[in-house]
Structure 1
Amino acid sequence: MTDTPAPFAPLDDLAVLRWYEVAGVDECVGETPVDRFAADAARAAAARAQPRDAPRPRTPPHPPPAVPRAAEGSAADPAAPAAAAARESAAAVAGRAETLDALRAALEAFDGCALKVTATTTVFGEGAADAALMVVGEAPGADEDRQGRPFCGVSGRLLDEMLASIGFDRSTAYITNVVPWRPPGNRKPTPAEVATCTPFIERHVALIAPRALLLVGGLAASTLIGTTEGITRLRGHWRTHRTPGDAPDVPAMPTFHPAYLLRNAEAKRLAWRDLLAVKARLAEG
């Protein structure tokens, strides 16, 4: 004799919402719900009702989308002038900031990046203003957007452990991102968005003036050392961040992003080598 299994109890609404949050779902598409199970069942019923020998209707092929020709003398990309103007405005605003507080105020007042409209807050940076080690990531995630602090989610906890392994924490290192506003749905920032934010992160590095940069992830590395190589090829090799103006150049160590390490545990041994290289470089004085 076997026990009767307990009836299935569906998750409560709050549990479903928590699961959606963990899975990264943060937006609803459409104003009314769509019962796709019912739609699939209706299509299946219609297919069963159709005689087997009945000819199937042929759907005419869709014509290729028309590509509008640019007007004579105009740019191929109509958004290019606006993007160039945003970059110029960002460079002018960032260049006038003489302190971290001034740079924060400039970022919070800057309206040249559309990401600011969808983000909850501007995630500036955190740590010692005279830190020897500066960590630069890609962009804030959902946790960072809510709390206004860089790397405060699961990836942040791993980053804290990485820094602690070489004798640093959030009070002795400095942590920030290339892009200070969270892209919708945690998508990757577009090249235009990165280009607009680049003057701010370059000024950020110049004001901190660290003795070494730890660039976590390919976007941070490509932005601050000017390369198109992937992070797998870049990591483990010292590069140089060319600081604009009179500020000295900074040695930079690219490594894997903590989020990547959480998904690929075997890469942690390589990241550990990178951290040891940073520790040795800073110990040289």
Structure 2
Amino acid sequence: MSEPADRVAALEAYHREEVAGCIRCALSRTRTQVVVGSGRLDADVMFVGEAPGYHEDVQGMPFVGQSGKLLTRLIEGIGLRREDVFIANVLKCRPPGNRDPQPAEISACEPHLFRQVALVRPRVVCTLGNFATKLLSGRPDGISRVHGHELPIEIGGQPVLLYPLFHPAAALYTRAMLTTLEADFARIPELVARAAPSSAPAPPAPPPAVPAREPDPAAQPVHAGAGVPASASAEQLGLF
């Protein structure tokens, strides 16, 4: 698949054919519409939240409520625009009453997210809150412990730098939390630059291998187990 037009076309087709009408879990019966994601389809930075809320379910766009307004402000604070990044959620449909995602819902929806990462190929994936962080890191550590600490991982066969952040909702009414979130966001440009493909020249080709020496015709073959004491260790036999 060529870069990047074919990936963009493939992601658009996947969204249209596999995600927009998804019925993999019971949320398909209570949602207003699927909230697939938005933004640049070949972005260097991808944000992953928990699930759509009321406003997202109505408008079909992720992060359009108060949390979304703060997220936009934080993105602009590091010299980017919403259009420059890709924004998605672990779940593509709103849980009733904005309750927490259930394990069966996460399991049903995670292939959509992994496919999005594989096709967008972001350099940095910023997880917003506990659910996204635990799912994509594969670790049980909570966001209070791991926020602001990057982790090189692989998602959907794609190497990325995972960067856990507090969910913007946590900072809406707490100044101290907002200060922490702003400080963590400030590192994103540095992480993107660090995760960029290296422009260094390729290392020189290794020297040609030395041809194996012709075997001595007079040498007698040694068969496994022949003439070896039963007490000989693996180390003595040269196995490692």
Amino acid at match of 1:125: G
Look up the match of 2:190. Answer: 280
CA distance in 2 between partners of 1:244 and 1:108 (Å)? 20
3-state SS of the aligned residue for 2:63? coil
Q: Tell me if 1:187 matches 2:99.
A: yes
Q: 1:101 offset after TM fit, Å?
A: 1.8
Shift of residue 102, structure 1, vs aligned partner:
2.2
1:188-267 paired onto structure 2 within 5 Å: 188-245=100-157, 248-267=158-177
SS across alignment from 1:213: strand
Letter in 1 for 2:178: K
Paired-residue identity, %: 39
String of CA shifts for 1:213-262, please: whole Å, max 9, x gaps.
111111011111111111100101111342234xx310011010011111
The gaps in structure 2 that reach 5 residues or longer are 1-7, 197-240
User: Secondary structure of 1:219's partner?
Assistant: helix
Bigger fraction of residues in helix: 1
Within a 5 Å distance, the mapping from 1:148-163 to structure 2 comes to 148-163=60-75
Q: Which amino acid aligns with 1:279?
A: P
Q: Deviations over 1:100-158 (max 9, x none)?
A: 12221201232121111100000011111111110110000000000000000110000
Who is 1:126 aligned against? 38
Q: 1:100 to 1:112 in 2, by over 3 A?
A: same
Shift of 1:98: 7.6
Tell me which residue corresponds to 1:175.
87
Determine the structure 2 residue equivalent to 1:91.
none
Cα distance in 2 for partners of 1:241, 1:152 equals 29
Aligned equivalents of 1:134 and 1:274: distance in 2?
Answer: 15
Give the one of 178, 188, 200 matched to 1:268.
Answer: 178
Paired with 1:268 and 1:251, the residues of 2 have a C-alpha distance of 23
State how far apart, in whole Å, the 2-side matches of 1:108 and 1:157 are: 24
Q: CA RMSD, aligned part only?
A: 1.5
CA-to-partner distance for each residue in 1:46-99, whole Å, 9 max, x for gaps?
A: xxxxxxxxxxxxxxxxxxxxxxxxxxxxxxxxxxxxxxxxxxxxxxxxxxx981
Please give the alpha-carbon distance, in whole angstroms, between the structure 1 residues aligned to 2:180 and 2:137: 20
2:221 maps to none
Structure 1: stretches of 5+ with no match in the other structure: 1-96
Residues of 2 paired with 1:265 and 1:220: CA distance? 23
The two structures have a TM-score, normalised by structure 1, of 0.63
Aligned equivalent of 1:11: none
Q: Deviations over 1:17-39 (max 9, x none)?
A: xxxxxxxxxxxxxxxxxxxxxxx
State the distance in 1 between where 2:90 and 2:145 align.
20
Cα distance, 1:265 vs structure 2 = 2.4
What do residues 189-233 of structure 1 show as CA deviations (whole Å, max 9, x unaligned)? 101111111111011111100010111111011111111111100
Kept in 2: contact 1:225–1:240 (CA 8 A)? no
Runs of 4+ in 1 over 4 A off after TM superposition: none
Cα distance in structure 2, aligned partners of 1:98 and 1:198: 21
Tell me the distance in 2 between the aligned counterparts of 1:263 and 1:220: 22
Matched residue SS, 1:136: strand
Using the alignment, how far apart are the partners of 1:278 and 1:114 within structure 2? 36
Higher mean Cα deviation, 174-183 or 234-243? 234-243
